[in-house]
């Protein structure tokens, strides 16, 4: 699977930074999460619709992040997202955070489990996502 979303835009705001103007590391998780949500939305699958109509939810089961260079106040960034592996009840995403000039700041590998929205037990991905 080599399906990439052409960059989910992010800007680093004052509230995202520490006293030195560097983005706090936990914000990277937020930016990666938003990009995965938009990846789903671009395919016609809003998270709330999936929960209500399909009875499924997604949960992060594993995440690995490598911080290479800091994002700084007012930086314009893009998160690229691609599916690296597709399984019956999970997806593995590979994500990259880049500055607008193309400089790689961070990478993430994230396993997302598909679960029954009521019981949180593993459940097969809806056919349309596959």
Span 27-78, pLDDT tens digits: 999 999 999 999 999 888 999 999 999 999 999 999 999 999 999 999 999 9
Buried b / exposed e along 3-19 (16+ C-beta atoms within 10 A)? eebeebebebeeebbee
Whether the model clears a pTM of 0.85, i.e. scores above it, the answer is: yes
Question: Does the annotation count 18 as an active-site position?
Answer: yes
pLDDT of residue 122: 97
CATH number of 4-116: 3.10.129.10
Residue 67, token pair as written in the block? 């911080």
Give every CB contact of residue 48 below 8 A, 6+ residues apart in sequence: none
SS3 16: helix
Does residue 5 surpass a pLDDT of 60?
no
Cα separation of 112 and 80, whole Å?
A: 16
Residue 3 has pLDDT above 70, yes or no: no
Confidence of residue 99 (pLDDT cuts 50, 70, 90): very high
Query: Which is the catalytic residue, given 16, 18, 74, 101?
Result: 18
């Amino acid at each position: 699977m080599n399906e990439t979303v052409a960059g989910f835009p992010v800007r680093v705001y004052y509230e995202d930074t520490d006293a030195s103007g560097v983005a706090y590391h936990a914000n990277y998780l937020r930016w990666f999460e938003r990009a995965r949500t938009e990846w789903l939305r671009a395919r016609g699958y809003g998270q709330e619709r999936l929960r209500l109509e399909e009875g499924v939810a997604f949960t992060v089961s594993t995440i690995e992040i490598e911080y290479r260079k800091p994002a700084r106040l007012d930086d314009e960034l893009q998160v690229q997202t691609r599916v690296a592996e597709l399984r019956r009840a999970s997806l593995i995403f590979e994500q990259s955070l880049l500055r607008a000039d193309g400089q790689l700041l961070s990478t993430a590998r994230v396993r997302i489990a598909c679960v029954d929205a009521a019981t949180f037990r593993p459940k097969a991905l809806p056919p349309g996502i596959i």
